[in-house]
Amino acid sequence: MAKRTIEDLNVKGKTVLVRVDFNVPHKNGTVTDDTRIRAALPTINYLTSHGAKVILFSHLGKIKTEEDKAKNDMSIVAEALAGLQSAPVKFVNATRGAELEDAVHGLKEGEILLMQNTRYEPGETKNDPELAKYWASLADLYVEDAFGSVHRAHASTVGVPALLPNAGGYLIAKELKYLGKALDDPARPFVAVLGGAKVSDKIGVIDNLLEKADKVIAGGAMAYTFIAAKGYGVGTSLVETDKIEDAKKFIAKGGDKLILPVDTVITDNLDNPTRIETVDCDKMPEGMMGVDIGPKTIALFTKALEGAHTVFWNGPMGVFEKEEFAAGTKGICAAVAALPDCMSVIGGGDSASAAKKFGYADKFTHISTGGGASLEYMEGKQLPGIAVLSDKA
């Protein structure tokens, strides 16, 4: 059933606690990529323009030490947010206590308060009921708009919305629209492209998409586990030996539906290569590692994508951060971008970074803001931060 959205709430004059995903890249006290902040603006702007008093909260980075706290101070995000929209933004360097409560009580309609990093609170990642109750006491309503965090049962994503009238924001609605369409009602042919480092990260996804998709393309470093499963040598390539049996099962289950690389770019050293060659996947020499799909594989994958009306892509085809090993990932970007009448969805993470880096971001129908959440969704798992939201009446 469809989830309630912010337009189903009466927000005028109400204090609305909004879980956003402001877990942004930053360096030397400056946000280096504001994509996630921009993704939250439609929800924030709707609330401020409709007379809500808006409290934003989010995590930033992993907090284990005092040094982590200093490095992941949310004040840098407040500065970036203030530069992106016109409503006043107040930052409070607290996650609880009198300073925060006074600031909340002083909020006027159309104003925004950003509180400090939720992970400064040890109870956040444990979904501590006392913490959830405290945060819920600050507001009248809750809006979930942090798709990148809804696969985690934390206090801010599950505990608080269980205690307040709630709804999903515009970003959540957009994510569910496109991921839901791809998984549950795809225009066919539906082709899934999976890459990245590890089979272990995607076992459930591969299994589910072999059922749901018409073709599943597997590239990236995880492909070497499949190549090893076929009995070929893989040199020093990244291989999960404990997942070779799983790979064999997927090869048997997938049959012609599972499309694997036929050639690969290899090198003697990832950081300081003295040899870079392309060989067939059944002829990889000892002492060399696979770092990208080869030209024959790019052609094979491009052919497999022809005519697709739905594409889901998660995971690069190689070490795309290095120009000499980026051809495979660029090739996939170009192939998907060229498809007519196709709904193309990138499942966040490195694939999204690659599409932006190579200038193809605007050629995809939707780029998810949540790599882990999108993968769990495509695996068919229930996302706790979505499950807790109220259904439409």
pLDDT of residue 138: 98
Question: Of residues 61, 233, 372, 380, which has the active-site annotation?
Answer: 372
- Classified as helix, coil or strand, 119 is helix
385: annotated active-site residue: no
Residues 6+ apart with CB under 8 A from 184: none
pTM: 0.91
| Angle, CA of 118, 31 and 106, to the nearest 5° | 50
372: annotated active-site residue: yes
Q: How far apart are CA 273 and CA 280, in angstroms?
A: 19
CA distances from 230 to 244, 245, 283 (A): 9, 10, 12
| Angle, CA of 266, 267 and 271, to the nearest 5° | 135
Q: How far apart are CA 379 and CA 360, in angstroms?
A: 26
Domain 178-378 listed as CATH 3.40.50.1260: yes
- Encode the chain (393 residues) as per-residue pLDDT tens digits: 689 999 999 999 999 999 999 999 999 889 998 989 999 999 999 999 999 999 999 999 999 999 999 999 999 999 999 999 888 899 999 999 999 999 999 999 999 999 999 999 999 999 999 999 999 999 999 999 999 999 999 999 999 999 999 999 999 999 999 999 999 999 999 999 999 887 888 888 999 999 999 999 999 999 999 999 999 999 999 999 999 999 999 999 999 999 999 999 999 998 889 999 999 999 999 999 999 999 999 999 999 999 999 999 999 999 999 999 999 999 999 999 999 999 999 998 889 999 999 999 999 999 999 888 999 999 999 999 999 999 998
356: annotated active-site residue: no
pLDDT of residue 1: 62
Question: Of residues 349, 370, 371, 385, which has the active-site annotation?
Answer: 349
133: annotated active-site residue: no
Domain 6-171 classification at class level: alpha beta
**Annotated domain spans of the chain:** 6-171, 178-378
pLDDT of residue 370: 87
pLDDT of residue 349: 83
Question: Of residues 36, 53, 119, 202, which has the active-site annotation?
Answer: 36
17's enclosing H/E stretch is strand 15-19
DSSP 391: B
DSSP 210-272: HHH-SEEEE-STTHHHHHHHTT---TT----GGGHHHHHHHHHHHGGGEE--SEEEEES-SSS
Q: How far apart are CA 288 and CA 269, in angstroms?
A: 8
Question: Of residues 198, 212, 357, 381, which has the active-site annotation?
Answer: 198
Fold: same for 6-171 and 178-378: yes
Quick one: CA dihedral 351, 353, 359, 365, positive or negative?
A: positive
